[in-house]
């Protein structure tokens, strides 16, 4: 299984553009239930704003657009 947001998560676009490696996908998005620990996932569940350049660990990478 993968995270319920897998298909529409902005991280997919960043991966396709080669701006981030697939390590986040492996560690969170498609890792057994670990998406529950993803800050993006948690914010999404709470309806809390989070920018597209926020990574699963909560870090905001200003270099990413
Ligand atoms: S970054 Fe987080 S919210 Fe997005 S697909 Fe991966 S686990 Fe889900």
14 lines ligand 1 (CB under 6 A): no
CA-25 nearest atom, ligand 1: 6
- The domain spans of the chain are 1-65
Q: How far is the CA of 16 from the centre of ligand 1 (A)?
A: 15
State the DSSP code for 26.
Answer: I
Report the 3 state secondary structure along 4-51: CCHHHCHHHHHHHCCCCCCHHHHHHHCCCCHHHHCHHHHHHHHCCCCC
Q: What is the pTM of this model?
A: 0.95
Sequence-ordered strand ranges (E) for the chain: none
Distances (CA, A) of 15 to 24, 40, 45, 57: 10, 16, 23, 16
% of the chain beyond a pLDDT of 70: 100
pLDDT tens, position by position, 16-26: 999 999 999 99
Query: How confident is the model at residue 65, as a pLDDT?
Result: 77
11 lines ligand 1 (CB under 6 A): yes
CA-10 nearest atom, ligand 1: 4
């Amino acid at each position: 299984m993968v995270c319920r947001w897998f298909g529409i998560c902005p991280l997919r676009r960043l991966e396709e553009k080669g701006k981030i490696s697939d390590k986040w996908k492996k560690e969170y998005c498609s890792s057994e239930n670990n998406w529950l620990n993803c800050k993006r996932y948690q914010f999404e569940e709470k309806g809390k704003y989070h920018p597209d350049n926020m990574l699963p660990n909560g870090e905001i990478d200003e270099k990413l657009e």
